[in-house]
Structure 1
Amino acid sequence: MKKFLLFNTSILNGHLLNNVKLTTNPVQKDIENNPLFSEEYYSEPARKWEVRYDNGYPNVIYDPKYGKFRCYYTVFTYDEDSSKTPLNMRTKKLYSPSESRVTSLCYAESEDGVNWYKPNLGLVKFEGNTRNNIIMQYAHGTGVFLDEEEIDSRKRYKLVTKVFYSKRNHYMAVSFSEDGIHFEKLREWPKYNPRGDTHNFPFRDKKTQKFKLITRIWKDGVRIAAISESDDFINWSEPKEILRGDGFQDQVYSMPVFLYDNIYIGLASIYHEGDRSAKNFDLVDVELKYSTSLEHWDRVGERGEYFIPRGVGNYPDGEFDCGCIYASSPIEIDNKMFFYYMGSNGPHTGYRETYFARSWIEKDKFAYYETKDKSKVGLLYTKPFTLYGDELLILMEQEGSENPKISLCREDNTPYSGYESENCILTETGTPYKKINFKDKKIKDLKGNSIVISIEFSNAKIYAIAGDLESNKKDCES
């Protein structure tokens, strides 16, 4: 059985859509437990190496070998201004970063994904001792992932980072680890040195079995997402542009990517500048993107719809995540997709305190179609599918008592006899999906035929269809 998430435009016949719009389904934040942890420079006892998380760039992994959730995050372990400006003084002056700042990679872990612990790793000396959770220093925007397909156990964990000593001395590097704690000596990229001042996000592309890296370059004065690839995780191609935002106002600051069945989904942190009078100036929102190839990306939903909404308020009294948000790729737990993120309470270039938090959506519910005019019905038509079995399902939420009217049509969009909407019956399946049935007709009787699915609805959210379907376009499949 295959599923088809309707935010993928290649599934639908855009010419026949009527009175519908695609809407991003925002995450549900874990209000009960958030924030999960935060900077502790001014805590008691103080963690003097956690002076400013800044963006944090979290990499959250569940490792079944150790039975632990793991978070690898970027920290400024030295920042003169933040260390000399107590929290109660930060509204009285402007933040002034210096070139002496040092970024490092830190580590936290959890057994349940809620209660997190920062272990003393004993790896890096800081102010005379190694009682800290630092994995390595001078590492900016580090990306870490668990490569479950790696046959060499010494390379289970893979890491890409921008080693940054100064503006004149910096380079891209990789490393490997068996246990996710003890990484080998960093290996400098043999060729190319992109700006990389972002979340350098590596992953194994299951479609091609190549390693991919989402990093960042600059063009025309704006930040742009770029991709590099490698066969061995050591030798990387020159990063090339894959996504830019909209002028100064919507720049792609970073974008963790994950393959969700057969669709790439990007968690683009969108940075806003270009208008100092705008309410979102110098703030960062997470927007949902998708691609079928990694080469071209589209927005899910309309501009200004955000997947992880910022909290309410402003620095310093607003909610902990009212300023900037940077997400990790998700972890699936009990039919939910959990998105961990770093959220800060202030503007990007100002003072802000940053917190680690989590949120979720129900599986497959990234975005939905709804009606524009609530007093009228909406109409969706898919592109043709070939039916090869008797299973046909729809993922939806009905806000009223009337179910959508579904027809199975020929390629000329006329219904097959007996498969008209008035004969459609939806039944529960014990899952979020509902089964599509027809009076006196069986789905399998159309086996081998090309079908177009017509959905007429009101007061409903339509997320996806699934079943024994083969799309006529390979890039439709999820």
Structure 2
Amino acid sequence: MEKYLMLDRRLLSPQGMANLKLEASHPVKDEEHNPLFTEDRPWEVRIDNGYPNVIYDREANCYRCYYTLFIEDEDSRCAGPKERTERDYIPRPDRVPGLAYAESADGIHWEKPSLGFVDWHGSRENNLIFPFAHGTGVMLDERETDPSRRYKMVTKMDQPGTEAYMAVSFSPDGVHWETPTPWPEHNPPADSHNLPFWSEEESCYMVLSRVWRDGIRVTTLSRSQDFIHWSEPKETLRGTGFENQIYAMPAFRWGNIYLGLASMIHEGDRTEPDFDQVDLELTWAADPWKFDFAAPGQPILPRGEGSYPDGAFDCCCIYASPLVAAPDGSLWLYYMGGNGQHTNFRETSLGRAKWEADRFVSLSPRRPQEESVLPTASLFINGGRLELLADPADPGQPMEVSAALATAWNREPLPGFGYGDSEVTAGEDGWLSIRFSGGLENLAGQKLSLILRMKNAKVWAVRGDIALAGHRLWEGAE
């Protein structure tokens, strides 16, 4: 059974769509427990963006969080609460980054264990894994057969005034790590979240990072067969102008596509209320070399209320970890929230928000009282199962859905597969079952377009005995 999200442009026939718009959903913040932890250790001088990597380890039955911070930053260390409100932050070139570690049994209550690895001001009683590590990305590699390399890391080793280079490291348990090994080739700026993952399509490792091109920040992708030798970074996505630049974009696999969490920094006009603040948008890709925005200009996690210094912990900047599936099946978006502008004084804390599976971006009616039409691209019919994930756009009003199958969106439905021949019934978790009097299984092997007519319905996904068959706009299509 295949499943396709409505944010997947390959699925749709845009010429036949009517009264529909892309609408991003908002994960529900854990207001009861947020923030989960904050800057409460002497060496946590400034967590800054944090670039969190939250992983649930099923073997160890625990959550792990790896986060970047500055362990030496004189301006943050010396400026007290009152002074921070009276002047701007001045970052010094001798700031020292580092990588810290926290763990949790339930994903809510976090501990910062004393690891004994790093000497900070004469003591090793701290939760630091490495000094000089910046923008670290960590993955748990379930495919790995070498137990000493179960955890993998990509980072920028940045020793102020001396050298900066890309490096990798490995760990058997996520706590004890090898000395970082420099990349033998290439040394991109990569001063952001360097997130590694495995590509099923290319059977290789990839890392999403960031460089500067044409005066703005752009997201890049590199590939590796052995996690040591990496290709030259290639651009995979950029924002729009100065106003919406991608600062960081960790990504994760979801079904047959990738989803990215793009932290969008707003520059270019100091008079704008969101200047130097960072919003979180969703991106997607069927091919990780070609990401796109899922619902352009729509933040998925609204920043908290207020401003520095009295606003919510996440009122100004948001940087996310890839989505985490808890043991009970719930999905959590962990993120670092900052209460001040990106380049100014701020304090940073870890938060989380709950997201419903597949309900990421919907196709919703512009005018709920009017009919919407949603045709798909050509689909191979492989059996009799067809389901639609949909909710009422206005929860107080009924939702109407009917379906048809035709050789194209602008052709007459096949006999027995018209709108009047369809029966749509409610299933579990919002999934609707679609049946036809003609029997869907009788069309096995045919290539057809599914056409939905709806009122007051927002649609998230479709699944069943179907497979994408092609699109007139595809590269290489017949």
1:82 aligned counterpart, secondary structure:
helix
Q: How far apart are 1:167 and its partner, in Å? A: 5.0
Structure-to-structure mapping, 1:195-206, within 5 angstroms: 195-206=189-200
Match of 2:415? 417
Match of 1:336? 330
Q: Would the aligned equivalents of 1:413 and 1:452 in 2 still touch at CA under 8 Å?
A: no
Match of 1:353? 347
Match of 1:256? 250
Task: Name the amino acid aligned to 1:13.
Answer: S
Deviation track 1:412-454 (CA, whole Å, cap 9, x = no partner) reads 531122322233222233343111123x442212222222111
Tell me the distance in 2 between the aligned counterparts of 1:87 and 1:249: 30
Are positions 1:13 and 2:1 aligned together?
no
Are positions 1:33 and 2:27 aligned together?
no
Q: Would the aligned equivalents of 2:368 and 2:457 in 1 still touch at CA under 8 Å?
A: no
Structure-to-structure mapping, 1:58-137, within 5 angstroms: 58-137=52-131
Tell me the distance in 2 between the aligned counterparts of 1:259 and 1:117: 28
Tell me the distance in 2 between the aligned counterparts of 1:402 and 1:4: 21
Task: Name the amino acid aligned to 2:355.
Answer: I
Identity %: 42
Q: How far apart are 1:27 and its partner, in Å? A: 1.4
Q: Would the aligned equivalents of 2:56 and 2:325 in 1 still touch at CA under 8 Å?
A: no
1:329 to 1:167, Cα distance in 2 relative to 1, 3 A:
same
Determine which of 175, 181, 188 is the counterpart of 1:187.
181
Tell me the distance in 2 between the aligned counterparts of 1:370 and 1:413: 24
Determine which of 137, 148, 151 is the counterpart of 1:143.
137
1:89 aligned counterpart, secondary structure:
helix
Match of 1:246? 240
Q: Would the aligned equivalents of 2:250 and 2:320 in 1 still touch at CA under 8 Å?
A: yes
Task: Name the amino acid aligned to 1:144.
Answer: V
Determine which of 301, 313, 321 is the counterpart of 2:314.
321
Match of 1:452? 449
Are positions 1:274 and 2:268 aligned together?
yes
In the superposition, the TM-score normalised over structure 2's length comes to 0.95
Q: Which runs of 5+ in 1 are unaligned?
A: 41-46
Q: How far apart are 1:168 and its partner, in Å? A: 4.8
2:159 aligned counterpart, secondary structure:
strand
1:37 aligned counterpart, secondary structure:
coil
Q: How far apart are 1:335 and its partner, in Å? A: 4.4
Determine which of 372, 377, 395 is the counterpart of 1:378.
372
Tell me the distance in 1 between the aligned counterparts of 2:424 and 2:273: 45
Deviation track 1:72-101 (CA, whole Å, cap 9, x = no partner) reads 000111111111112233111211111121
Are positions 1:428 and 2:415 aligned together?
no
Task: Name the amino acid aligned to 2:462.
Answer: I
Match of 1:283? 277
Tell me the distance in 2 between the aligned counterparts of 1:280 and 1:356: 21
Deviation track 1:433-476 (CA, whole Å, cap 9, x = no partner) reads 111123x4422122222221111112221011100012203999
Task: Name the amino acid aligned to 1:404.
Answer: V
- Across the aligned residues of Structure 1 and Structure 2, the Cα RMSD in angstroms comes to 1.6
Q: Which runs of 5+ in 2 are unaligned?
A: none
Deviation track 1:118-138 (CA, whole Å, cap 9, x = no partner) reads 111111111222111000101
Deviation track 1:35-72 (CA, whole Å, cap 9, x = no partner) reads 111111xxxxxx21011100000001111121111000
Task: Name the amino acid aligned to 1:208.
Answer: E
In the superposition, the TM-score normalised over structure 1's length comes to 0.95
Tell me the distance in 2 between the aligned counterparts of 1:150 and 1:296: 27
1:259 to 1:463, Cα distance in 2 relative to 1, 3 A:
same
Match of 1:44? none
Tell me the distance in 2 between the aligned counterparts of 1:162 and 1:448: 51
Task: Name the amino acid aligned to 1:401.
Answer: P
Are positions 1:311 and 2:309 aligned together?
no
